[in-house]
Structure 1
Amino acid sequence: MKRNIVFLLGLALALQSCGQGSTGSDQEQEVAEDLAKVAISTPHGEIIIELFDETPLHRDNFLRLTEDGVYDGTLFHRVINAFMIQGGDPDSKNAQPGQQLGMGGPGYTIPAEFAEGKYHEKGAVAAARQGDQVNPQKESSGSQFYIVQGRVFSHEELGVLEQRTGRTLTDEQKRIYTTIGGTPHLDGEYTVFGRVVEGFDVVDKIAAIETDRSNRPIEDIAISVRILE
């Protein structure tokens, strides 16, 4: 039986309830000229992302699916403000209103690639996956991905997170999450394989859209993806 590809949503919402801070800086990132880049076109504008060489399996898979047109016509089917926007479910193409989405994929998973220094800061692009109960190796969905919006955390909130998870954040993580913002509880749980370099305002617009009880936008947010030369 298929299981929905999920995040650690309970912890995320608990952390959000601790305080509603800023969603972070809107400034565009410095672009690395030698990295592969793709453009995600939406009704609200274009999002440019670069793909990390440190995660070659995820990079090459995303590029291959883009070349094959797999993402064209799919939806951002799961949107949670101050958290993330999720897409890449092939079943979302031509989906009916109210149809439950989030279970589709290309029929394979990708081994986790946890690269040092790649965190869930605002604009991070990461792979969705099934939960630890059925996926203890934290393997990624073959196609579903999400873009982090997140929010800015206080040092006190990060201290609470460390106590809850038993993990110690690095100084760099603390700097990122108290300035840029993001979703720190997802570090080491989901593979980060890229980042937004242009279009942070588009991410914010989509994240603020009205959704139903399943976090699917009431108005479909269809995308098309192309590789930038």
Structure 2
Amino acid sequence: MKKSLIFTLMLTFSLFVNGQTQYPVIVIETNFGTMKAILYDDTPNHSAHFLKLVKQGYFNGTLFHRVVKEFMIQGGAQDSRNAPAGAQIGGGRTDMDILPEFRPHHFHKKGAIAAPRRGDDENPQKRSDASQFYVVHGKIYSPGRLDSMEMAVNVPIKNRIIRDHYLPHKDELARLKSVDASAFNALLDSVLHVVDSLYEAAPGKLTLPAEMKEAYSTIGGAHHLDGEYTVFGEVIEGLDVIDKIAALPVDANSRPRSDAKIVKIYVE
């Protein structure tokens, strides 16, 4: 708890130092406690739209209708307001679709606020359904797990480059190794330089930033969502409220059996 508190305070200070000042602090009051959140300046379409809905009272009285522990809590759907127990809810609105605003430095750490969307088959542009939102609960990744995630992406890329640019010289290197050490070393150095240069510039290579590794290994998150859904804000106070809601027993549709209600969301 102490570690998380220190991290949150440092994060909050960093955000305001780095100019997250365009939007006011948002208060999310629930029947399990209150969270405070900021909206990012560099996701203006999502942030301005969310703020507009907040000022309209759009989310007041709705539910966190989809709750998955170690993943996220999703809420704000209009059909969740006063929904009877056991009813399947959470329908989105295509009239509030917004083009994605992916930013590599905004990722799915615990407390991240993001927009859900329809699947790629019917939504290849990955447009957000801005009529709802979700807050990441996530899980804590060990440093070794994060390294393995990088390797799982990067090793095949490196192997492909080696196959294309090292293997064609394999026989010649083997011949030179036994007859001309100087020529062998020169050719090997040349080939490895090409391999390393191509790998350094290879598209699709995964290098997790230090800030991301720190967050995922301390407070946790949901890395598999990065680059797929727009993150446009984050909870800066009340992370324990996410824990409480995420721990609720749910039905087959991931709806909590006892309502997790958004009493109101308003500007501080």
TM-based fold match above 0.5: yes
**Identical aligned residues as a percent:** 45
How many equivalent pairs are there?
Answer: 206
1-side partners of 2:50 and 2:42: how far apart? 14
**Bigger radius of gyration:** 2
Contact kept in structure 2, 1:111 and 1:140, CA below 8 Å = yes
* Residue 119 of structure 1, CA deviation: 0.9
2:73: which partner in 1? Answer: 85
1:167-192 Cα distance to aligned partner (Å, 9 max, x none): 51323222321223101111100000
Tell me: CA distance 1:220–1:155, structure 2 relative to 1, closer, same or farther (3 Å): same
SS in 2 for 1:101: coil
Q: How does 1:133-212 map to 2 (within 5 A)?
A: 133-162=121-150, 163=152, 168-172=206-210, 173-212=212-251
User: Normalised by the size of structure 1, how large is the TM-score?
Assistant: 0.83
Q: Is residue 127 from structure 1 mapped to residue 115 from structure 2 by the alignment? A: yes
Q: Distance in 1 between matches of 2:227 and 2:257?
A: 32
Deviates more, 1:192-201 or 1:100-109: 100-109
Residues 37-78 of structure 1: CA distance to partner in whole angstroms, max 9, x if unpaired? 211111111011100001000111001111111101110001
Q: In structure 1, the residue corresponding to 2:233 is in which secondary structure? A: strand
Q: In structure 2, what is the equivalent of residue 67 of structure 1?
A: 55
1:222 corresponding residue in structure 2: 261
Deviates more, 1:211-220 or 1:31-40: 31-40
Contact 2:4 2:219 in 1 (8 A): yes
Report the Cα offset of residue 222 of structure 1: 1.4
Structure 1 counterpart of 2:114, which letter?
A
What are the superposed Cα offsets for residues 207-229 of structure 1, whole Å, 9 maximum, x if unpaired?
1011111110001111111112x
In structure 2, the gaps of 5 or more residues are 155-203
Q: What is the letter of the counterpart of residue 189 of structure 1?
A: E
For 1:167 and 1:148, locate their aligned partners in 2 and report how far apart those are by CA, in whole Å.
Answer: 25
When residues 100 and 169 of structure 1 are mapped into structure 2, their CA distance, relative to the original with a 3 A threshold, is farther
Distance of 1:26 and 1:209 partners within structure 2: 23
Q: Deviations over 1:76-117 (max 9, x none)?
A: 001111111100111111112111122233722011001231
Aligned to 2:169: none
SS of the residue corresponding to residue 197 of structure 1 reads strand
Amino acid at match of 1:77: H
SS in 2 for 1:66: helix
Instruction: Measure the CA separation in 1 of the matches of 2:117 and 2:137.
Output: 18
Measured at CA, do residues 158 and 139 of structure 1 come closer, stay the same or move farther in structure 2, by a change above 3 Å?
same
Deviation at 1:161, TM superposition (A): 3.6
Deviation, 1:157, is 2.5
Instruction: Mark the runs of 5 or more structure 1 residues left unpaired by the alignment.
Output: 1-21
Greater share of helix residues, 1 or 2? 2
Aligned ranges 1:9-28 → 2 under 5 Å:
25-27=4-6, 28=8
Q: Distance in 2 between matches of 1:58 and 1:147?
A: 14
Separation of aligned partners in 1, 2:260 and 2:28: 11
Counterpart contact for 1:161–1:185, Cα < 8 Å: no
Cα gap change, 1:39 to 1:193, in 2 (>3 Å): same
